[in-house]
Amino acid sequence: MSTEQHFESSFTLDRHYYLACYDETAQPLIGIKPYAKAALLCIAGLGLAAANVPAYLSYFIIGLGVIEGLSVRFNRSWWLWRQLLSKAANNTVSVTVNERGIRTHSQFVNQQWTWQQIVAIEEKPLGFVLQLDKGRQYLLKQPLSTDCQAFIRQQACLA
């Protein structure tokens, strides 16, 4: 008779966690294509200025274009800043890993994924990327014990 594997841990959604999450899961924006919306907004704002539309409207559209361009250029910082302003930032998250799946629980989020719902598990240097039917989730290795990490690797081989 085998005993059920059960691991519990907790971590804080802080700057370190969010940076690891972004660095290991974000798709890099390459080339000029990501700047298309920013350029389009700036051109539209200049067109409005040339068409004798009230100046505040054209300046507003140009300003939106500049902000959009900055959000593309400084994507990592922009994303981190938005996450740190969210209500979930700096809250403690409890993680439970067992034979049934992975459960995360905090004041604002209560999620549970069974091993059948997890399509694939990709191991990164700092964590695990869980590929689900609808989306991806990131699980940082640091708060997990080595036995827990080995158990997740074992489940990844079974998936």
Q: How far apart are CA 157 and CA 159, in angstroms?
A: 6
Decide: 106 and 92 in contact? Cβ < 8 Å.
yes
φ/ψ of 78, rounded to 5, equals -60, -45
Decide: 49 and 103 in contact? Cβ < 8 Å.
no
Name the 3-class secondary structure at 144: coil
The contacts of residue 53 (CB under 8 Å, 6+ apart) are: none
Decide: 69 and 89 in contact? Cβ < 8 Å.
no
pLDDT of residue 57: 95
pLDDT by residue for the chain (159 residues), tens only, comes to 456 789 999 999 999 999 999 999 988 878 889 999 999 999 999 999 999 889 999 999 999 999 999 999 999 999 999 999 999 999 999 999 999 999 999 998 899 999 999 999 999 999 999 999 888 999 999 999 999 999 999 888 776
Q: How far apart are CA 102 and CA 114, in angstroms?
A: 6
φ/ψ of 119, rounded to 5, equals -75, -45
Assigned token pair, 68:
């959009």
Q: How far apart are CA 155 and CA 89, in angstroms?
A: 29
pTM for the structure as a whole: 0.80
Q: How far apart are CA 92 and CA 121, in angstroms?
A: 23
pLDDT of residue 52: 85
pLDDT of residue 148: 93
**Among candidate residues 73, 68, 60, 71, the one with its CA nearest the CA of residue 31:** 73
